[in-house]
Every structure is written in structure tokens, then in C-alpha cells.
Amino acid sequence: MTNSLIDEGLKLMLVGMGTVFVFLTALVIVTTLMSRLIMRFQPRPIASDITDEEVAAISAAIAQHRRK
């Protein structure tokens, strides 16, 4: 009787570990594919027309904020 319980426990452990392994492998594959799709179809950043004065004003505002 104890051998059959040990055998059942080992079978259950292997099935559980196998299930987790398959799920995590599928999760990695799906995440990688989604990342590649997003990078492929993501719109390109638009070049902005910010003047040097605006950059200086933004930099000064950030510096003043960090000093507080």
C-alpha cells in the first residue's frame, strides 16, 4: 500500500511540475512575440519643433523644481 501511495505522489509531482514548466514556457514565448509585435507596429516618434529658448526654459523649471 505504501508503494502505491509513493508512486501516486511521484506521478502527481511530475504532472504538476510538467504543467508548470509548459505554462511558463508558453508564457515566455507569448510575451516575446507580443513584445516583437509591439516594437514592429509601434508608431515612430515624431520630431518636435522645440526651440532652444523652450529647452532652456524647461531645463530651468526642472532645476528649480529639484531645488525645492
Provide, for the chain, the percentages of residues in helix, strand and coil under a 3-state DSSP scheme, each rounded to the nearest 5.
Answer: 80, 0, 20
Tell me how far apart the alpha carbons of residues 3 and 47 are, in angstroms, rounded to a whole number: 71
> Binning pLDDT at 50, 70 and 90, where does residue 1 land?
low
For the residues 13-22, what does the mean pLDDT come to? 98
CB half-sphere exposure, 36, CA atoms < 13 A? 6
pLDDT of residue 61: 96
Quote the pTM value.
Answer: 0.56
pLDDT (tens digit, 9 = 90+) per residue, 31-44?
999 999 998 888 77
For the residues 30-59, what does the mean pLDDT come to? 89
Tell me how far apart the alpha carbons of residues 55 and 49 are, in angstroms, rounded to a whole number: 11
Spans of all domains in the chain: 2-67
Q: Which of these, 66, 1, 31, lies nearest to 58 by C-alpha position?
A: 66
